[in-house]
Amino acid sequence: MELQQPAATNKEKRHFDLDKVAPYIAVAPFYILFLIFGLFPVVFSAYLAVSKWDGLGQIQYLGMDNFSRLITDMDFWLSLKNTLIIWAIGTIPMLFMALVLAFCLNLKFIKHKEFLKSVLFLPNITSVVAISILFGLIFSNFNGLANGLLGVFGLKPIKWLTEPGWVRVVIASVNIWQYTGYNMIIYLTGIIRIPGDLYEAARMDGASNPQIFWNVTIPQLKPIILFTVMMSTIGGLQIFSEAQVLVPTGATPQGGAMTIVYYLYQTAFTQHQFGYGSAIAWGLVVVIMFFSLLNWFITTKRVKGA
């Protein structure tokens, strides 16, 4: 007995030691990977942004040249304009439709709610590449379904993919199709949490359903709506795959399909200007920060005003 006792404590002590470092071992992989593949690239991209590099030779220090070029680069501003237009014509109708759908789906007389929820959410799981290819054929310049239907009504075919105005609509519609159900699901969780007596009180006051939608549901959902606006803005500013798959060659900033990230991709990986590409990336970060701050200001101001 007397001999066993110290042995046991010794063993416990060793256990104790391993268990003390165990949490650090458990979380270490993330930090190691982040250091190498997350932090290093961000720091290095600041260096690349003030340099010239063609992807093969030496990296040459340039100073602020890339940034002064960026500010006067019409192609960059046109890409930003395209991105913002695609974002606006996509996100605003999408979030509004998602809200109305969520409100409708939550009404008492609607049956099969779970099934409808799944069906409306379904587009979100598809691959953006496959869907962009499909939309590209539906909105083909020549003989797609869209022009076929226009023909049925005796209307002239539209050059969907080459007219700047229309190609933005097609890109935005891929986005609307994929994310309306997703946002609806998020709104639904919020709607379910709205206290029932708020609705009851509104009904007692004789409010109609549309009035309830505007005066009860939307104000109550404000934090969630702001969350979705924020996420859609950040996502929308980084749109790439839809545009690149729909217009894989010959995309120009004047053509409407060139988004900022597409411009970045083309500058770096087609024209091999990795330094200037990094400057575009930083430009994008500034734009994202600007809109995030704008969002934040509008919300805090509104909350104070309310």
Partner 1 sequence: MGDNKLFKLIVRVFIGFGVILSLFPFYWMFVMASKPNSEIYKTPPSLTLGNELFKNIHTVFTQTTFFHSVLNTLFIAITSTCLILFFDSLAGFAFGKLKFKGKAFLFTFLMGTMMIPGQLNIIPSFYLMDKIGWVGSYKALIIPGMANAFGIFWIRSYCTDAIPDSLLESAKLDGSSIFRTYRSIALPIMKPALAFLALYSFMGSWNDYMWPLIILNDEKKYTLMLALTQLKGLFTTNYPLVITGALLATLPLLLIFVLFSKQLIAGITDGAVKE
- Sole binder of partner 1 in the list 64, 71, 88, 133 (CB under 8 A): 133
- Sole binder of partner 1 in the list 61, 214, 269, 290 (CB under 8 A): 269
Q: What are the E-state strand segments in the chain? A: 51-52, 60-61
Report the helix count and the strand count for the chain, using DSSP H and E: 14, 2
| C-alpha of 221 from chain center | 20
- Sole binder of partner 1 in the list 68, 189, 254, 271 (CB under 8 A): 189
- Sole binder of partner 1 in the list 67, 77, 166, 240 (CB under 8 A): 240
Q: By CB under 8 A, is residue 62 in contact with partner 1?
A: no
| Stretch of 64-72, 85-93, 238-246, 298-306 contacting partner 1, by CB under 8 A | 238-246
Beta carbon nearer to partner 1, 2 or 114: 114
- What does the per-residue mask of binding to partner 1 show for 191-230, with x meaning CB under 8 A? ------------x--xxxx--------------x--x---
Beta carbon nearer to partner 1, 265 or 304: 265
Q: By CB under 8 A, is residue 130 in contact with partner 1?
A: yes
Residue type, 133: I
Block residue for tokens 């990094």: 278
Block residue for tokens 């009035």: 211
Block residue for tokens 């890339």: 66
Q: By CB under 8 A, is residue 67 in contact with partner 1?
A: no
Distance, first Cα to last Cα, the chain: 74
CA nearest neighbour of 106 among 97, 116, 121, 96: 116
